[in-house]
Chains A and B, each alone.
Chain A
Amino acid sequence: MKSWNELENSSFFDANARERALGMVDKGTFTEFLGPHDRFTSPHLPVLGTAVEFDDGTVCGVGLIGKHPVFVVSMEGKFIGGAIGEVNGAKMVETIHLARKVAKEIQEKHPDDYAERRPLVAISFETGGVRLHEANAGLLAHAEVMDAIQDARHIIPVVAVVGSKVGCFGGMGFVAAATDVIIMSQEGRIGLTGPEVIEQEMGKDEFDASDKALVYRTTGGKQKYIVGDCNYLVEDKIGDFHNALADVVTIPMDEIEKMRRIGSQKLVKEQQELVQLVADLQPGDSMDLWKHFGNEDPAALPNMTTADFLKVVKRRVRP
């Protein structure tokens, strides 16, 4: 395992779930809940002859950023594609609930400087959604996570952190959309149906999953940043994600609410306007949309470094 200092300068994309969890919070502050030593594995996988993992593929715990407790959920894409089942789903749900309870306690104990101590939930998504082996239990876990996020709303920020290999797809794409703030790197991807599945169902003419540039233009961090589906675009470094979280912990809750993309009548209207725009424009590629939002040379954007991209990019202006 790399040291914290090494982790800060390491690629977020290449890091495993535990490395990401450790590196997203301040040095030496991370404590894991139900770690590998607790051996809390899935009860459903052994009967199906599928390999198990001691942490069920998700690392949960708490660390600090400054005085802010940061509750971390970090998914491991190498274990069954990061899919969510009963055990890792329950870990995720309870971590969010715990963050909310801790917020209440801190508010009672430190009413004067609560703003400096307000907790935050950071979820590092690397998942294809429901773990099909666990069928209903996996689906139920998704619903419970949605509920937990809704319960935390207006109380503590719930932040989606997306920059890992598998991306964030399936049911967990919905869950990421339901968070308050989304932080991505250009390597991160969010969607509902993954590229391979679209190709399989609709054919190569509809979506060529082997065309990586197309896949990233459609689901990647830069596209999400331009359209407004993500709030922060950062370099692929664990330390940069850490810094972005350090920014979010300081933002007041009413400002956090404005960073959401769904969850109110007004936001539904905004999404409908975006759908209408796409229907009117009939874009053949994401780049047509980027041009519409004021990027004169959209074809130059994909190859830019994140720093250069952030200097020149024009984003959709939110109403």
Chain B
Amino acid sequence: MALQTLEFEFKSANTQSISKEWSHHGVTGSGDMECLMEKKDLGGGVKAKVVTPVKGFDKVWEKMIGKFVADTGVGNVSIEINDDNATPIVVYMRLRQALAEATAKEAE
């Protein structure tokens, strides 16, 4: 019944962090999620914390976030996710969007 908290750590080949100190993207809507990315000295690695009502998908989360880290080469970032039943592909898309936001220059 209670919410699940999952924590993962990834090693990144790259130590390319985000440009902003922290950045937020998305809304915890039904079938959606929000993501908070924060610059952190993790020796190049990535830390992820997922809070979700869904049970039994720990491996899928690990794979999806792992793929995101591998594909983007992002490092020294802590990722916090509040999820409300987002599907894996939505998770991947939101992470890419959140990263774009976190690396974007201040908008005019």
Chain A residues at the B interface, C-beta cutoff of 8 Å:
1-5, 16-17, 35-37, 39, 41, 45-54, 76, 78-79
Contact = CB atoms under 8 A, between A and B. Distances in A.
Given A39-B80, A52-B28, A54-B80, 13 more contacts: A3-B107, A17-B27, A36-B36, A41-B82, A45-B3, A46-B51, A47-B2, A51-B28, A51-B82, A53-B28, A54-B24, A78-B30, A79-B27
Contact of B3 (A2, A3, A51, A76): A51
Contact of B34 (A2, A3, A54): A54
Contact of A52 (B3, B85, B101): B3
Given A51-B28, A52-B51, A79-B27, A46 B108 contact: no
A51 B83 contact: yes
A2 B84 CA distance: 24
Contact of B53 (A4, A35, A51, A53): A51
B36 A54 contact: yes
B4 to A, nearest CB: 9
Contacts of A37: 22, 24, 36, 38
Contact of A36 (B29, B34, B53, B107): B34
Given A51-B51, A54-B36, A79 B29 contact: yes
A53 B108 contact: no
Bin chain B's interface residue count. Answer: 20 to 34
Contacts of B51: 46, 51-52
Nearest to A3: B107
Given A1-B101, A3-B108, A36-B24, A51 B52 contact: yes
A167 to B, nearest CB: 16
Interface of B: 1-3, 22, 24-25, 27-30, 32, 34, 36, 38, 51-53, 80, 82-85, 101, 107-108
A79 B27 CA distance: 7
Chain A binding surface SS class: loop
Contacts of B38: 37
Contacts of B101: 1
Nearest to B51: A52
A53 B24 contact: no
20 contacts: A1-B101, A2-B107, A16-B27, A17-B27, A35-B24, A37-B22, A45-B3, A46-B3, A47-B2, A49-B2, A51-B82, A51-B83, A51-B85, A52-B82, A53-B27, A53-B34, A53-B82, A54-B82, A78-B28, A78-B29
A37 B25 CA distance: 11
A132 to B, nearest CB: 15
B27 A46 contact: no
